[in-house]
Amino acid sequence: MVDIIEISIVAVGTFLAMAMFSTLYGKSNPLYSLAEESYLGFGTGLTIVINVLYIWKTGVVNIQAGDWILTFGLILGLMILLRMNKNYNWIARLGIAVVLGAQFALSFRTLIFTNFIQQISATIVPLFTGTGTELLYRWTITICVIVMLTFFLYTTELKGPLLWSSKLGEYLLYIAFGAIFAQTFMGRLGLFTGFMQNYTVPPWQTPYLLASMIIVLAIVIILDRTKTIDKWIPEE
């Protein structure tokens, strides 16, 4: 038996979701504004609650247990909050500088290894040992990398073999960017498919989804036909 709370969650969720999709109508409408502001409000509130609980469980509780080094983290956090005060906002710069400096130092090593060293190492592969499929992959990677690098030669005139290599490298870059875009689109399509499955399984949720679609579309069309669609949009 489905309780009233679960039904309310599904009904509100499907309505707000379809209100977000109402932007596909091609015109701004109050339902989209309602869903957008609700999403931002709920997201902000949830983030605040999660962060407060994290500070309490990770900071305050551990400090009470004797881990006094975490006190410096709480002090830095309080210093950053002083940014809201015009007279003492300079103190916030100290906390921000420490946080950004520490974060940059921690991420710099990771960025060097993942975005630089590991990518170079991945292209340095044996070209004469392995199975036929492995050799095909390795030679393809090596040739494509060399050809695409010639596209970025700006210190010399490109003519002859270099010109043809740079042209081929340009087309290979187009193919790579197209593949990245297609992969991104497929990822977004997978999210949409998962969303639809979430509101159609179990089957009792499907009527709420269909009703929300019809109600939202009807409201948007009525507001558009009566020339009042812009009247109900809140001013920014």
Using omega within 30 degrees of 0 as the cis cutoff, is the peptide bond preceding 202 cis? Answer: yes
Cα angle value 215/217/220 (rounded, 5°): 105
Q: Confirm if 31 and 17 have CB atoms less than 8 A apart.
A: no
In this predicted structure, what is the pLDDT of residue 120? 86
In this prediction, residue 236 carries a pLDDT of 63
Q: Report the candidate in 108, 127, 111, 109 with the shortest Cα–Cα distance to residue 119.
A: 111
Structural contact between residues 234 and 32, judged by C-beta atoms closer than 8 angstroms: no
- 29 near 220, Cβ under 8 Å? yes
Note the pLDDT of residue 85.
86
**Amino acid 86: pLDDT:** 86
Residue 15's CB is within 10 A of a number of other CB atoms, namely: 20
Whether residue 125 contacts residue 139, with contact meaning beta carbons closer than 8 Å, is answered with no
pLDDT at 123: 85
Helices (H), 55-70: 61-64
pLDDT the model gives residue 218 = 95
Residue 16 CB coordination number (10 Å): 19
Contacts 24+ apart (CB under 8 A), 154-159: none
Task: Please report where in the chains the tokens 């875009």 appear, as a residue.
Answer: 181
DSSP 155: S
N-term to C-term CA, the chain: 44
Which secondary structure element, helix H or strand E, spans residue 169, and what is its range?
helix 161-198
Nearest to 79 by CA among 70, 71, 88: 88
Please report the pLDDT score of residue 106 as a whole number.
85
The pLDDT assigned to 176 comes to 92
pLDDT along the chain (236 residues), means of 10: 87 93 89 92 95 91 90 89 87 90 86 84 86 91 90 84 91 94 94 90 91 94 89 74
pLDDT given at position 177: 94
